[in-house]
Structure 1
């Protein structure tokens, strides 16, 4: 995939959860495996229901389906290896495998950020420009937004992986993490990594601060429009269409910002590892849970698929 610089290290070993005893690791394995299976099954259900139910063939659910596919790829890149490491600690991974894992992790993680931004824009158009919604959010526009999100993810991932693996690694081969991430890898580099830190900061700002800013602006305009709705019931229904997206956005951007926008001097690998568990294991589950338990249209589609009567308004 990428031409890697010659290096003193040919493989890495994940420290992961090796500091915990066997019983604790087994408990983690069972919990994480259950969460992983729930995430996979939830996302498969969402994609299937949206694909089969014509009532959900609208932009909002096109983006939700794209997000579910991306979240699935994101977790597949990280969690199976992590689960294996819980049963057999300190397993090696060759440098090509590490670069590949980092590439897919960054690609789909960044893709998720921009898909959430596209979903925020969709909600802005639906509430603030309802009469032009079908024109602005046509099929072509939706595909372009989804493709653009993936394209940005691919581009940024190539920049990051090339930046990290252009360095030689000679400060040991143990990664103080449970997967190949930028900062733990840079701690193993031989030479000064100031340039890499700058690249990492610029990429983090581009994929976190910029999307967060756009989502924030969208919701300022959305809330202003909702407050102008005369009836309390109308305001409630308008906000209900945004509540699920807003919940996912807050958790997703919150966890990622704590790790990637925190100054290096304040970075604790133990804390980063704990937060990483949140956004690699728990946050991906939030998407299907929130959108199936809190979204009436998805619940109605599930009931129709099971031959049940949809819920009343």
Structure 2
């Protein structure tokens, strides 16, 4: 089979496994980026979430700074920064700093969701209407990262240092038609969160490509689609890892910290709510290398993707690394 030219990348949530410390989880993220670099993956992105005990990537720029110092070539980015939680100039300065320290290696993916619950939104000092200003905030951020002074009223006479002239590439993240339309209008790459919100994927991809307007950053549309992957040379072990992941996902989202017996969790997974949670992760490739490769090639075609963002599934660091290894070998055949 002819090797696929499509880039493969990784989304890392800095997952804190049961019984694991946050520090150990962050060290796992360092090791994952190093493994991805070794295997030739394109980039690793980190997501901004708050008030979630199982996710330690609440400060993507800080995590990226550390991991960039522990790697050499691989691109690192936010997947994403939830821009309405922040002032654009602060994000410009943070990512401008990263770009000056690690030239050519930094991406800035942007989302408009809070990445948390209503109570934590208040703790973030976020205005309830902040998401309505997302398009304007993106334009403001572009101005701060650009080469020359901006005509925007809110940025006139203000220079982001670091930031000015770094031209950190921006990506719009989304799981709906809003993000697709905005990315198309602004001429930016679009990344779809199909690893947990699959329903509008094909429609959003079509809208994005149909309405794309070339920009200074991007001449042609560029679509990234995220997908969960459980890969193992032992197909039985891959199936068991998937089942473990499904149960942990339902437990996390349905329980919110509560403890369930195995029997209770079985019942929840069979309930309407449990089935909806499992539907959210329906874009999942599982099996040995050839099976996973075939699934991903079909998925990329349906998604109209130019790049796949892999969410590697595994109950241990070794299993996660194994997924990346098995997939990389199969993708090259």
Query: Under a length normalisation based on structure 1, what TM-score does the superposition of the two structures give?
Result: 0.25
Which protein is bigger by CA-based radius of gyration?
A: 1
Query: Under a length normalisation based on structure 2, what TM-score does the superposition of the two structures give?
Result: 0.24
Q: Which has the higher helix share?
A: 1
